[in-house]
């Protein structure tokens, strides 16, 4: 069983200070990805099989968002968990998670990472990439919280972009990508970004690729960019947006764009 001290001071903590509230599904995907990486870690370290390894949420504190995490006792093969019993494996897991995320601070790190690693890293840092602020991973060792690593909003956006690109490379999918191209909106609705579908009211023109308006989709991990692009502007139709896009073609003809990056906007002359 867990002691009161363990519940109040779990060995691992995710501390978030977002600029905006985080959507529930996004937060749950973040925690699920951390849990999946713990399963991989437990299996590789011989602590437990991946299917039996569990990471538990012990507490959620208000103010900033503090989520306490601790291993399930059966994962460690013990019945009672004083702090020193599970601190070593948790400290090692925190270091392994830092090492994984650090790999995505460089562009397209496909060596030593899996497709699932790319997806997990994208999910873990998405709340900060989307809502700003920062997230810090802390461990409780002895009697103090010690930060293992921190991810700022700028870090998170870079890591997210690299994780998505690495995932595509590992999947062996070729994409025609254009960076920092000027786009103007031709039509849009007020709903969230479309990531798939046959009918899409969001259309834009990227003249250096095709003079005609084409449907605008967003990569799943970048769906928040639609709000970032149009949320603060009274009339987005009077702006030019600089975006990174993947171009979809059928028989050589452009049929749609998928936005995977955003670099700001400027007013049009017309």
Per-residue model confidence (pLDDT) at position 75: 62
**249-262 pLDDT tens trace:** 877 889 899 998 88
Tokens in use for 72? Answer: 């399930």
Per-residue model confidence (pLDDT) at position 128: 94
Residue for token pair 């968002």: 65
> How far is Cα 166 from Cα 182, in angstroms, rounded to an integer?
25
Nearest to 137 by CA among 12, 7, 9, 10: 12
> How far is Cα 44 from Cα 32, in angstroms, rounded to an integer?
19
Cβ 115 vs Cβ 165: under 8 Å: no
Cα dist. 187→27, 93, 211, 214 in Å? 31, 47, 15, 10
**Distance linking the first and last C-alpha atoms of the chain:** 69
**70-125 pLDDT tens trace:** 777 666 665 555 555 456 788 888 999 999 999 998 876 777 888 889 999 999 99
Nearest to 182 by CA among 207, 158, 203: 207
Q: Is the pTM of this model over 0.75?
A: no
Per-residue model confidence (pLDDT) at position 252: 81
Specify the pairing of strand 144-152 against strand 203-206. unpaired
Residue 10 has pLDDT above 90, yes or no: no
Per-residue model confidence (pLDDT) at position 69: 82
Per-residue model confidence (pLDDT) at position 270: 62
**199-249 pLDDT tens trace:** 788 999 999 999 999 999 988 778 888 888 887 777 888 899 999 998 988
Q: What residues contact residue 27 under an 8 Å CB cut-off, 6+ apart?
A: 127
Dihedral of CA atoms 38, 221, 159, 126 in degrees, nearest 10, equals -60
Per-residue model confidence (pLDDT) at position 205: 96
**How many other C-beta atoms are found inside a 10 Å radius of the C-beta of residue 189?**
9
> How far is Cα 232 from Cα 239, in angstroms, rounded to an integer?
12
The domains of the chain are located at: 4-171, 176-267
Instruction: State whether residue 66 is helix, strand or coil.
Output: strand
Tokens in use for 162? Answer: 């690299």
**146-193 pLDDT tens trace:** 889 999 999 999 999 899 888 888 876 556 889 899 999 999 887 778
> How far is Cα 156 from Cα 86, in angstroms, rounded to an integer?
29
Tokens in use for 214? Answer: 């084409």
Nearest to 147 by CA among 13, 34, 27, 17: 13
């Amino acid at each position: 069983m867990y002691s009161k001290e363990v519940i109040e001071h779990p060995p691992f903590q995710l501390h978030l200070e977002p600029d905006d509230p985080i959507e529930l599904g996004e937060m749950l995907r973040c925690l699920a990805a951390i849990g999946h990486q713990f399963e991989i870690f437990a299996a590789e370290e011989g602590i437990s099989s991946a299917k039996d390894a569990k990471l538990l949420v012990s507490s959620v504190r208000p103010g900033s968002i503090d989520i306490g995490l601790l291993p399930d006792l059966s994962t460690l093969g013990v019945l009672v968990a004083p702090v020193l019993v599970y601190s070593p494996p948790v400290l090692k897991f925190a270091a392994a998670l830092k090492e994984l995320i650090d790999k995505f601070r460089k562009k397209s790190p496909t060596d030593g990472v899996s497709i699932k690693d790319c997806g997990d890293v994208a999910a873990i840092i998405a709340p900060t990439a989307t809502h700003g602020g920062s997230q810090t991973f802390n461990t409780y060792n002895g009697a103090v919280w010690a930060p293992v690593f921190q991810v700022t909003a700028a870090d998170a956006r870079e890591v997210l972009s690299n994780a998505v690109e690495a995932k595509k490379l590992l999947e062996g999918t070729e994409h025609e990508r254009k960076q920092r191209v000027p786009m103007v909106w031709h039509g849009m609705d007020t709903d969230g970004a479309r990531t798939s579908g046959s009918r899409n009211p969001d259309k834009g023109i990227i003249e250096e690729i095709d003079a005609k308006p084409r449907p605008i989709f967003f990569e799943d991990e970048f769906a928040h960019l639609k709000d970032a692009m149009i949320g603060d502007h009274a009339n987005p139709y009077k702006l030019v947006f600089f975006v990174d896009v993947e171009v979809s073609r059928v028989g050589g003809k452009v049929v749609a764009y998928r936005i995977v990056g955003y670099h700001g906007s400027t007013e049009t002359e017309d």
